[in-house]
Each structure stands twice: as structure tokens, then as C-alpha cells.
Amino acid sequence: MGGGKATRKDEKAAYRLGGLIAKEGWILLNGGRNAGIMEASAKGAFDHGGLTVGILPDDNCDRVSEYIKIPIITGMGNARNCINVLSSDIVVACPGGLGTLSEIALALKNSKAVILLNFDGEKALELYNTKNLLHYAKTPEQVIDIIKKIHIHF
């Protein structure tokens, strides 16, 4: 699992991981899109003769990676993350955003092993805090203060 936006370094690691998964004879299952970690890991597995399955959020084939041998078009949006995780024996999370974090949480909730490959979940949360949606509190009183400040904007 991993994001549609990735650094070149993370894409290289995902490509290598996909190749190693293929060499083991395992199936690579990911989000199936033609971007970032999904594209790189699928290409790695594909280039090494592996089977690739993509569980796509859309209801069409517009963004399917050419390296996905079995695309599954769900039309489910982010709900497809449930299929990704519950269909996996082990979840490997490469750098991503909130979608990847949701997959990690779902995997752990369902007692699936999770391996984080160069993934910093706290950093991922901070990347999505540009709209000031994420707040931290250390006491219940701070929670109330934050709620009051946020509530003014509604």
C-alpha cells in the first residue's frame, strides 16, 4: 500500500519490493492506479513476471496502471481500502497519505501484520494539516478550548 504521490527514492524502493514479491511467487495487490507507489510496485512485480492485482476506487479504467494484470474496478472510492486490506495476508505500507494510514489502521484492527517501509505516519498526518484540521491536546480542558475555537468557524 502507498500513495499516488511519491518521491523518486520511495518509487525505487517500491519497484524493488514489487520485484522481490514476484521472485517469491507471491501476488502483489495494491490500489492499482497509474501513479506513485502503486505504479512503481506493480511495475516491479510485472517486470519480474509476477501477478499484479489492482483494487481501484473508480468506476472506470481511466487510471489503471498498465502493469496491473487483474484490475478490479469497484466504484467504491476510499471504501475499496477495505478490500485491499482484507484480501491481503500481510500489509506492507510504503509512504503515503491518509488513505495509506486508513489501510494500516484497518489491517491492525483485523489482526493483520503490517510492515512499514520508510513510512512515517506522523509525518503523513502533518502533510494533511494544511487546512488546520488536525489539533493536539494534552488535557480535556485543552480539548474544550480547541472545540470552542473551531466552532466559531462553523
Q: What does the pLDDT look like over 54-66, one tens digit per residue? A: 999 888 888 899 9
* pLDDT-derived band at 132, boundaries 50, 70, 90: confident
Q: Name the least confident of 77-86, 101-110, 137-146.
A: 137-146
DSSP state for residue 137 in the 8-state scheme: -
Domain ranges of the chain: 8-119, 121-154
Helix or strand or coil: residue 20? Answer: helix
> What is the maximum alpha-carbon separation in the chain?
57
Measured CA to CA, the distance from residue 7 to residue 31 in angstroms comes to: 18
Question: In whole angstroms, what is the distance from residue 81 CA to residue 70 CA?
Answer: 17
**pLDDT value for 153:** 64
Residue 26 DSSP class: P
Supply 18's cell numbers.
Answer: 514489487
Q: What percentage of residues in the chain have a pLDDT greater than 90? A: 46
Nearest-Å Rg of the Cα atoms of the chain is 17
Q: What is the mean pLDDT of residues 118-146?
A: 75
**Fold designation for 8-119:** Rossmann fold (3.40.50)
Give this prediction's pTM.
Answer: 0.83
CA 120/CA 103 separation, integer angstroms: 14
Tell me, what's the pLDDT at 127?
67
The three cell numbers of residue 99 are: 488513505
What was the pLDDT predicted at 138? 85
62 vs 109: CA distance, rounded Å: 32
22-32: pLDDT as tens digits: 999 999 999 99
Q: CA of 122: how far to CAs of 86, 99, 129, in Å?
A: 24, 14, 11
Is 125 a residue whose pLDDT tops 80? no
Q: Determine the pLDDT at residue 130.
A: 64
Residue with cell 473551531: 150
